[in-house]
Structure 1
């Protein structure tokens, strides 16, 4: 499923350019996808909890393959419909599969500590190995075999259908703790139940805030690393840089796997503060290089293509690779935290509620990306990550307070029993 997603990624923008759309039209198409994820994603998550995560995973296949089909039409409206399908599919990819896994893991009686290793492997393979292989396959289809920029979407179509067959044949269905029952009478009932759960437990709300803040910074970075390294449109080896980023992400997921082997010794709440703090510092680096763009420096920038990356760009590239390492640590660690604190019967609904502020922010970034200086954008990302650091600190305090209260209760109960 991740391979099907990664096959499309490198050529979405290129395909729209190939069809002759300008930057404004392409931006509106991308906004359509994120807006779809924001509006319809919560509905998709609610239906996954109510009617089954296996069905939601198969719906992901249907939605994404439908989006792939639309890429064959040079029509703004048809492509916009495809972006809507893809937006819904993205919400399902980020909620239904994780929800199915956690529920199935619990149903089979496996050790809860194993989830950390599973999530680490999933990020290593899905966001690392599959990303690199998919990028190479997509490049071969377009450049090596000269099949055109729509070829990767046909490849994704085939991969997704294959994955759908595997799910249909091998997965069992699960609904969370209320298996076999319709846990809520309506969509609104499911949403209100999820909102009540978030309001009742501040730790869930803090998890949602940290996820939204980190992902908003991550997606903004995805849009901005190219102009940060080539401020005047200089040539970059995108394939090589992308490979470096994915290798760094794989390294981060390996580190997370080591940390999650013994979650009692390496408490996630402690090291995640370091992750957010270091991530804020890495995205602060381009702020210093793009704080001002004096005209007299533009001639120096124009020599980048002929002389290779200057030291300013190399420092930024190192900082971006460090950020990708932290991304690799973040994903499995956040998945592990969510498996511990997000209610099982509302998991997919709550995960998609977390994505509403994320998608709203990304839409705003896309809409204003040409009007806001790079330094302001990256500075805002650093501020978001520092806010996530503060949220993680509050989360840690709440966790310590809960443990102390539980210890006191057990002590009181033991004293009453002896009396």
Structure 2
């Protein structure tokens, strides 16, 4: 069943992507602006693909390598918790340096710290592995925030059409899926012949190539480099605490992405419990990635005609349905179908939420605020993992988590709609509507985010 589903979804993905590409090429003018934007996308996506590949090369064999070194479930859990804790604490500090010292320089730090983390896998000592896991946690904070911050800043600096940022996000999800499949297959082939440490060595080589390409293809950009690092943190926290939009976006993102992390922990035992024979992990993982790519392509199309928050609402509703099916069904086919629905929803989520982040988060504190969002995410995952809940109860927890995220999305949509209405009112009435006794209007408009208003 699993192999047939993979081939069917792969054909569907290729067909959908082909239609979208053909329609887009038919409208491509070939102007200097088009060529400049295509070049910019290429420079970003090539680098981002290598960064994702370095991550995916390791993912399939971290747990297996720890087990081969003789560590049980308790010790392995402690190592993973160390990664989440480091991501929440040290990762926030390291990645936030990007706003002050430069996003390109921080990518070099990513290459160094992730490379050292991979090198520690050669040593079976628990404390060395713990140190490596902490470095990996800090590195993933950079991966999930600084690359995006560089892209959005360059997009604005080059005065590209604001709506095109959603296209770049959708392609980034597509590239991530392709990288995951390719890296997973390469790691599996190498590990079966040369041992489970070699995929980590291949990741080091990938990171070296990444550092070289960044030096050749990327320029430097900053957030607020004139302020000391401590003040930069204060400014970022002030934005989060003073803006309901930014605050709501952060909680919504943390909740939904925590369900994604929990899904990673649960899908293997959930499918294995319903199947007496060994499940084909590689094929199933590749199927998930194809579903993710289908979701990103669907999101790319929907974002041309629907507001980002509405696409998010659809993705969240699909996720609630998927988790509800997992909690209630005991049939393998139903569970696997629900997993695929969730992966499509995740593929739709990333371009939509990235587009909203590009609108709302101030450029001066982009990397810092994005990492503040990851603090509750990591701690929420740690709480659930340490709670050691059974699979069915964890699915129920995911239903609650995503339902709350859906409620927050509705609130965010209301706030954005109100801002849009205020902009229209200002355009009709001029400054007179935002002066005197009606000062609340100007407060609303300023809260949207100064230089980012063009993205609203």
Query: Residue 365 of structure 2 aligns with which residue?
Result: 346
Distance apart, 1:410 and its partner CA? 3.1
Distance apart, 1:241 and its partner CA? 0.8
1:36, 1:84 within 8 Å by CA — same for their partners in 2? yes
Q: Does 1:214 align with 2:231?
A: no
Query: Residue 78 of structure 1 aligns with which residue?
Result: 128
Matches within 5 A, 1:365-380: 365-369=384-388, 372-380=389-397
The structure that is helix-richer by fraction is: 2
Matches within 5 A, 1:13-412: 13-126=63-176, 128-143=177-192, 146-176=193-223, 178=224, 181-182=225-226, 184-187=227-230, 189-231=231-273, 234=276, 235-260=278-303, 262=304, 265-289=305-329, 312-369=331-388, 372-412=389-429
Distance apart, 1:240 and its partner CA? 1.2
- Give me the whole-angstrom Cα distance separating, in 2, the residues matched to 1:407 and 1:376: 47
Distance apart, 1:169 and its partner CA? 2.0
- Give me the whole-angstrom Cα distance separating, in 2, the residues matched to 1:142 and 1:415: 69
Deviations along 1:362-406, one digit per CA (max 9) or x if unpaired, are: 11222222xx22121111111111111111111111112112223
Distance apart, 1:232 and its partner CA? 7.9
Q: Secondary structure at the match of 1:71?
A: helix
Q: Secondary structure at the match of 2:118?
A: helix
2:311, 2:352 within 8 Å by CA — same for their partners in 1? no
Query: Residue 9 of structure 1 aligns with which residue?
Result: 59
Distance apart, 1:414 and its partner CA? 7.2
- Give me the whole-angstrom Cα distance separating, in 2, the residues matched to 1:271 and 1:64: 34
Q: Secondary structure at the match of 1:236?
A: coil
Across the two proteins, how many residue pairs are aligned to each other? 382
Aligned residues: CA RMSD: 1.5
Higher RCO (C-alpha 8 Å, min separation 6): 1
1:45, 1:351 within 8 Å by CA — same for their partners in 2? no
2:240, 2:246 within 8 Å by CA — same for their partners in 1? yes
Distance apart, 1:87 and its partner CA? 0.4
Report the CA distance shift for 1:109/1:315 in structure 2 as closer, same or farther (over 3 A): same
2:92, 2:138 within 8 Å by CA — same for their partners in 1? no
- Give me the whole-angstrom Cα distance separating, in 2, the residues matched to 1:268 and 1:12: 35
- Give me the whole-angstrom Cα distance separating, in 2, the residues matched to 1:341 and 1:62: 31
- Give me the whole-angstrom Cα distance separating, in 2, the residues matched to 1:7 and 1:414: 55
Deviations along 1:75-99, one digit per CA (max 9) or x if unpaired, are: 0000000001100100000111000
Q: Secondary structure at the match of 2:148?
A: helix
- Give me the whole-angstrom Cα distance separating, in 2, the residues matched to 1:110 and 1:248: 30
1:3, 1:156 within 8 Å by CA — same for their partners in 2? yes
2:311, 2:349 within 8 Å by CA — same for their partners in 1? no
- Give me the whole-angstrom Cα distance separating, in 2, the residues matched to 1:327 and 1:415: 44
Structure 1 alignment gaps of length 5 or more: 291-311
Structure 2 alignment gaps of length 5 or more: 1-50, 434-456
- Give me the whole-angstrom Cα distance separating, in 1, the residues matched to 2:215 and 2:81: 32
Query: Residue 302 of structure 1 aligns with which residue?
Result: none
Distance apart, 1:415 and its partner CA? 7.0
Deviations along 1:347-369, one digit per CA (max 9) or x if unpaired, are: 00000000001100111222222
Deviations along 1:316-358, one digit per CA (max 9) or x if unpaired, are: 0000011000011111111111011111110000000000011
2:245, 2:412 within 8 Å by CA — same for their partners in 1? yes
Q: Secondary structure at the match of 1:21?
A: coil
